[in-house]
Amino acid sequence: MTNAAKSAMLRFDNKEIELPIYSPTVGPDVLDIRKLYAEGDVFTYDPGFTSTAACESAITFIDGDKGELLHRGYPIDQLAMDSHYLEVCYLLLYGELPEKQQMIDFEARVTNHTMVHEQMHYFFRGFRRDSHPMATMVGVVGAMSAFYHDSTDISDPWQREVAAIRLIAKLPTIAAMAYKYSIGQPFQYPKNDLDYASNFLQMCFAVPCETYVVNPILAKAMDRIMMLHADHEQNASTSTVRLAGSSGANPFACIAAGIACLWGPAHGGANQACLEMLREIGTVDRIPEYIAKAKDKDDPFRLMGFGHRVYKNFDPRAKVMKESADEVLELMGVHNNPTLQVAKELERIALSDEYFVSKKLYPNVDFYSGIILDAMGFPTSMFTPIFALSRTVGWIAQWKEMVTDPTQKIGRPRQLYTGELKRDYKSVDER
Ligand code: CMC
């Protein structure tokens, strides 16, 4: 933990408590309130953790006002343009960009683990064919702890490392299997002579009776989608992984918990919800109706793919993703389809409408990723699984950091209780 150079005095009810203030390498100062309950007999109240730092971390930094996202100090737009997914994985996991040989060794380690235990195939068959692939993934990833006993001892650094590599290597295989199962096609084994993104595309789109050649433009776009989703500091699913891990749960169980959290439409489920919304709007002339709904305080409807808890200027991932969207749409020749026309017009209106401008609601990464994945041929139900497999490295890097953090404790938030006072039980005849 950083040493406190400053402190703040909190005075209330004749008490005076000195609270240390830590200065991070970049970003707002952090007030240490750990002794508040012991010395002041009060809790803090912060639903949604909008002002609470729950951990110390050196992996990712976001400046929401500047629209900046840094992984280990490197800006996401530089990584997205010049790096590739597995290199970003290495950076997130180990803190530095790899040298040539380190990259070769890391790629070989990941590639060596792409197949799943053959018995897992039977596990898939227990699911209904119409299961959402996220439902299947929560189950199958959780079940990895039943298949890989030699990497569940979290006190052993080597086992933690093997679990991390296994998760990064197998998540694309599991996501592709969930997809193939849902459409009734045979599972496609990984091909280790392909790069990570191309291998995922072939596991999703190849069939045994035909030759499948991966289009390099689509592989590049897929790799970029993966990079742009790799980590995002303490978001809901990452915090879920940390909270699950804080009890000492094994990494496979923790990542399954992260996948469950990611599924919600306010988080990773937004890419699916966004495309479904664009299809529901259907034609450009219906946009004003939906804009009015989004502004109506009595209507719970929100424009999916707009707004972000942290970015209140623009989402730097969305900027790069928009470029990929243009490339992929050009290649697939779908620049004139009705969904895309709705998307373009919605983007134009929202960026100039007073309501969205004043609330700083910009298109986020999910607005564009859904459009790209749709053009690539993925059904909407696969959008969130692709987010999940890409985010697995972030989750596992944050989990590894937490496990070795000497200040780490089991997560146990407190509450502002507003229920009944103590009262005596009455038998049913007396009620
Ligand atoms: N459409 C219409 N109004 C909105 C929207 C939206 N998408 N997002 C926020 N607002 C309004 C909201 O009604 C509120 O208005 P008021 O101040 O008058 O009550 C104001 O903007 C602030 O909203 P908030 O709910 O306090 O903001 P938040 O930081 O808690 O929520 C969010 C962030 C991402 C959950 C929200 O913007 C949202 O629901 N967006 C749509 C879902 C979405 O696209 N999520 C993906 C996020 S990016 C991927 C990821 O990181 O998972």
Q: What is the DSSP string of 131-163?
A: S-HHHHHHHHHHHHHHH-GGG--TT-HHHHHHH
Q: Which of the listed residues 361, 369, 384, 387 should we mutate to test ligand 1's pocket, taking the one with most ligand atoms within 8 A of CB? A: 361
pLDDT (mean) for 69-75 = 97
Confidence category of residue 5, pLDDT binned at 50, 70, 90: confident
Residue 169, pLDDT > 70, answer: yes
Q: Which of the listed residues 293, 302, 346 should we mutate to test ligand 1's pocket, taking the one with most ligand atoms within 8 A of CB? A: 302
Q: Is 308 assigned a catalytic role?
A: yes
Q: Report which protein residue has its CA nearest ligand 1's atom 32.
A: 308
Residue 334, pLDDT > 90, answer: no
Q: Report which protein residue has its CA nearest ligand 1's atom 15.
A: 359
Residue 80, pLDDT > 80, answer: yes
Residue 2, pLDDT > 80, answer: no
pLDDT (mean) for 174-198 = 96
pLDDT tens-digit profile of 142-162? 999 999 999 999 999 999 999
pLDDT value for 340? 81
Give me the amino acid identity at 237.
Answer: S
Q: Is 335 assigned a catalytic role?
A: no
Distance CA 286, CA 275 (A): 15
Confidence category of residue 222, pLDDT binned at 50, 70, 90: very high
Q: Report which protein residue has its CA nearest ligand 1's atom 35.
A: 266
pLDDT value for 8? 96
In sign, the C-alpha dihedral spanning 142, 152, 102, 317 is: positive
Distance CA 420, CA 431 (A): 16
Catalytic hit among 229, 308, 315, 374: 308
pLDDT (mean) for 40-46 = 96
Asked if residues 85 and 226 have their Cβ atoms less than 8 Å apart, the reply is yes
Q: Which of the listed residues 51, 309, 355 should we mutate to test ligand 1's pocket, taking the one with most ligand atoms within 8 A of CB? A: 309
Tell me what the pLDDT averaged over the chain comes to: 94
Residue 232, pLDDT > 70, answer: yes
Residue 15, pLDDT > 80, answer: yes
Confidence category of residue 337, pLDDT binned at 50, 70, 90: confident
Listed ranges 319-333, 366-380, 407-421; the one with the highest mean pLDDT: 407-421
* Residue 196 DSSP label: H
The Cβ of residue 51 has, within 10 Å, a number of other Cβ atoms equal to 9
Catalytic hit among 195, 223, 315, 366: 366
Determine the distance separating the centroid of ligand 1 and the alpha carbon of 308, expressed in angstroms. Answer: 6
What DSSP line would sit under 76-122, residue for residue? HHHHHHH--HHHHHHHHHHSSPPPHHHHHHHHHHHHTT-SPPTTHHH
Q: Which residues line ligand 1 (CB under 6 A)?
A: 232, 235, 266-268, 270, 294, 302-309, 359, 361, 364-366
Model pTM? 0.92
Q: Which of 30-34, 52-56, 274-278, 328-332 has the lowest mean pLDDT?
A: 328-332
Do the bridges between strand 6-12 and strand 30-31 make them parallel or antiparallel, or are there none, so unpaired?
Answer: unpaired
User: Which residue has better confidence, 324 or 404?
Assistant: 404
